[in-house]
Homo-oligomer: A and B are copies of this chain.
Amino acid sequence: MKQLKDTSTEEKILEAAKEVFMKYGLYGARMQDIADTAGINKALLHYYFRNKEKMFDKVFEGALQKYFTQMDVFGDTTLPIKERIFRYIDNIVNFLSEYPQMTMFIIKEISINPEMFKEKVQPLKKGRGVRFIQALEEEISTGKIKKVDSVMFMINLHSLCTYPFIGAPLFKHALKANGKDYEKDFSTEKLKQSAKNFVELTLGK
């Protein structure tokens, strides 16, 4: 019986809440909409999560947790720099192809409610980024990789991996209007390859 916990009411609600909050944000989401999506009664939402904010917090924390886990590999000092970058690319692209709305959700809510960053995001990072950038700059100074602006490089890297999912609604329509088929012309494997090409072109083979 224990394995049925996955489809418990609480789980169903969380799944529905994730979907609705991601789409509409904290203020745009409607409790009724979440209840309908979960296929349960509205009052049950309050039974399990007390109120809207608390439910949102659960969803948001889960999202952050999952999202930043994809970047843990940057901190794996047992791997060479470029391997860490390549693994990050694989991780984040796989992850976003499953949750394409995740990035926008996190960024939107943080920009509306900046205090959330300090509260919830900061603890997940713990200087892993600074250490990676240091390592990158070290390899640049020893000439092991080409001279680049480390910050700009990291921004570009994230951009190449992330925006294709954010912009997908536009790309899809644009390509279809142009006689191309998004599903055919875009694939996660192509995207990974393309990002890795960028890394090699920028940092050297």
Chain A interface residues (CB < 8 Å from chain B): 23-28, 30, 101, 103-104, 106-108, 110-112, 114, 117, 121-122, 125, 127, 129-130, 133, 149, 151-152, 155-156, 158-160, 162-164, 166-167, 169-171, 173-175, 177-180, 185-186, 190-191, 194, 198, 201-202
Contact = CB atoms under 8 A, between A and B. Distances in A.
B163 A159 contact: yes
A154 to B, nearest CB: 8
A106 B167 CA distance: 10
Given A155-B186, A160-B160, 15 more contacts: A24-B27, A104-B166, A107-B166, A107-B169, A125-B174, A129-B178, A130-B178, A130-B179, A152-B190, A152-B194, A155-B163, A155-B167, A159-B159, A163-B163, A201-B201
A158 B28 CA distance: 28
Contacts of A180: 133, 151
B158 A167 contact: yes
A178 B25 contact: no
Contacts of A155: 163-164, 167, 171, 186, 191
A170 B127 CA distance: 14
Copies in the complex: 2
Contacts of A178: 127, 129-130, 133
Contacts of A156: 160, 194, 198
Contacts of A171: 155
Nearest to A164: B155
Contacts of A186: 151-152, 155
29 contacts: A26-B28, A27-B30, A104-B104, A104-B166, A106-B170, A107-B166, A107-B167, A107-B170, A110-B169, A111-B169, A114-B169, A121-B173, A122-B173, A122-B177, A125-B174, A125-B177, A130-B177, A133-B180, A149-B194, A151-B186, A152-B186, A155-B191, A156-B194, A158-B163, A158-B167, A159-B160, A162-B163, A162-B167, A163-B163
